[in-house]
Structure 1
Amino acid sequence: MGLAFVALGFLSYGLSKNWNDSVAALGRLSWWTVAGSLAAVLIGLGFMLLAWRAVLAGFGSPLPLRVAAKVLFMGQLGKYVPGSVWAFAAMMELARDHGSPPRRTFGATVVGLVTSLGCALALAAITLPLTSQEVARQTWYLMALIPLIVVGLHPRVLTFGLNLVLRIARKEPLDHVLSGSAMLAATAWTMIGWLFYGVHIWLLLGDMTPGGPSLFAVAAGAYALAWVTGLLTVIVPAGIGVREGAMVLVLAPVLDAPHALVIAIVSRLAFTLADVLWAGLGFLLARNQAPQASRAEAYVAQ
């Protein structure tokens, strides 16, 4: 819990730096658009939960949905702390309390992250040429990662790579090979989640410029590329500032910089609020779910 409070402190600091712009952004958008955008983010995160849970089950640690929500979303608050290890550490500790060995949680989280990266790059590769050839040319090197990710997500290659990392860290290897069906399910859930992420930008974009459904490709590609850029900038908590700059660049063909920045800031607020709401929901849903160790101790005491 201490780590969660530290993460919330960094999260609040990141928001306070953009507070005035955030207030101005909300004033430019209708409340139902902002609410719809937040709802799309919440749904998208829900599909990401299903993807992560499918991978963890494939590694041999099936968790009840409410427990999985608690582990994933409370642990993910650690991404707002500088560095790339805090979310991993928090999730492994939370999952350990419910019977999932740290190596499986670590493996599932790495697979989930790489799968999300692959889906985001694929979505950007499909949509960006339809919106801006210039942006597509400037980001060719990111698209070049797609074949590597596809090969890396093959279950046997994936298991070998994860076990190599665990061996270097002097940890026990994974005792299950992820099945192809589990990997396909996780990829499908992840891509659906990314489509909802595209919806959240599309709704905001619709308040700024006419275009209707044709703007969805711009919206989906903009957020996908912005997220990838923020992810690869690991020294910045949750990509704060980096993601917004990338989104302004990708939206340039259809929107001027001030309006694009408004969308980027509101998007950041929507994801931040969604992270907190999901973490709170996960905590509430699993509050009566006793940790596995505690249940075992109670059984022995009887």
Structure 2
Amino acid sequence: MVLTRLRRNTWVRLALLVLVCACVGAALYANWAQARDAVSELPLWVLPVAVLAGMLGLAAQMLAWRSLLSGLGSPLPGAAAARVMFVGQLGKYLPGSVWAFVAQVELARDWKVPRSRGAAATLLAIAVTVAVSLAVAAVALPLSSAEAARRWWWALAAAPLLLACLHPRVLGWGVRLAARPFARFREVAEAGPLELRGGAVAASVGWTLVAWVPLGAHVWLLTWAVGGDALRSAGPAVGAYALAWTLGLLVVFAPAGLGVREVVLVVALAPVVDAGAALVVAVLSRLVMTVADVGWAGLAVLVSKAPEHEQERNLSF
């Protein structure tokens, strides 16, 4: 009861929003300070196009998560799903990526999505993202960046096993097993058993694969802009960012994978650009994706309606 009241308290939410905005603002400032000199040397159109590509990739990832949530029995309209996903994802800029997970589950609760389903959908989305992203990296990196493949062979080798674990029966068993300790809680009992439809998993995998086209394209564009060969840069760019994204996601104590992504990108891009240029790409990519995160969060709030209890509370003031 106390947690529920805190969650619905306007002032608590406002304080959390201010904290998140401060962290996002600090991230933008730090990234801009590092990238300012490099930006001045790029063609004017490069960064806007890279941001657009990043936003398209994030949109596909949102649709992957929405497919899983729908497959668990809690479909959301597109605008509501965007608001939950993109506003919640700003929590990853707080120390410890777990806050994005918590925020997403709680925001979904505003649309009457049981926490058990919201948590299951988010965890499943992470599982799909990790498996598919490692598979993309496992295909691209050995052919284009031998050093990256040698250094992180253990992550790439896990890709086939993780892909096999995405079979609906395996995922469904895992979801039910994870939910069993919480079955005694009233909210979990009222939500009913967690049953996952196979079509939802297939749709999520498909959208995640689609996401890597624009996500990889934004790194390829930046690599080309700092001097990389257009054709030779494609494989390292896509594979490097897929691996960097995955490892950054798994290192939960690093806000938005800070530091992890940069190391992977510098190593994986070595065949096509020197270390200094690769570091510029890493910094520019972080700036681009931070702007994409903020842009989607702002757009989602503008185009979606607040949940009913929020509207009622606003009318009461």
Using structure 1 for the length normalisation, give the TM-score. Answer: 0.91
Residues 126-135 or 162-171, more deviating: 162-171
The answer to whether structure 1 residue 258 and structure 2 residue 276 are counterparts is yes
- After superposition, the CA RMSD in angstroms is 2.1
- The question of whether the paired residues in 2 share the 8 Å contact of 1:119 and 1:194 is answered with no
1:1-302 equivalent positions in 2, closer than 5 A:
1=13, 2-169=15-182, 171=185, 172=188, 175-287=193-305, 289-291=306-308
> Which amino acid letter does the alignment assign opposite residue 291 of structure 1?
E
Per the TM alignment, residue 290 of structure 1 is displaced from its structure 2 partner at its CA by: 3.6
Q: Distance in 1 between matches of 2:179 and 2:195?
A: 14
Counterpart Cα distance in 2 of 1:292 and 1:52: 24
Runs of 4+ residues deviating >4 angstroms: 292-295
SS of 2:45 mapped into structure 1: helix
Q: Normalising by the residue count of structure 2, what TM-score does the alignment of the two structures yield? A: 0.87
Kindly tell me the number of residue pairs found equivalent between the two proteins. 295
Tell me if the contact between 2:148 and 2:264 (Cα under 8 Å) persists in the aligned partners.
no
Which amino acid in the other structure matches residue 84 of structure 1? S
Give the C-alpha shift of residue 101 in structure 1. 0.7
Q: Give CA-to-partner distance per residue, 1:47-70, whole Å, 9 cap, x none.
A: 111111111111011111000000
**Offset at residue 30 of structure 1 (A):** 1.4
What CA distance in whole angstroms lies between the structure 2 residues aligned with 1:275 and 1:45?
8
Which one-letter code corresponds to 1:239 in the other structure?
A: G
Q: 5+ residue gaps in structure 2?
A: 1-12
Measured after TM superposition, the shift of residue 293 of structure 1 is 8.8
State the secondary structure of the residue aligned to 1:99. coil
C-alpha offsets along residues 177-202 of structure 1, whole Å, 9 cap, x if unaligned?
21221111110111110121010011
Given the superposition, is the C-alpha separation of residues 18 and 282 from structure 1 closer, same or farther in structure 2, using an over 3 Å criterion? closer
Structure 1 gaps of 5+ residues are none
Secondary structure of 2:195's aligned partner: coil
- Amino-acid identity (%): 43
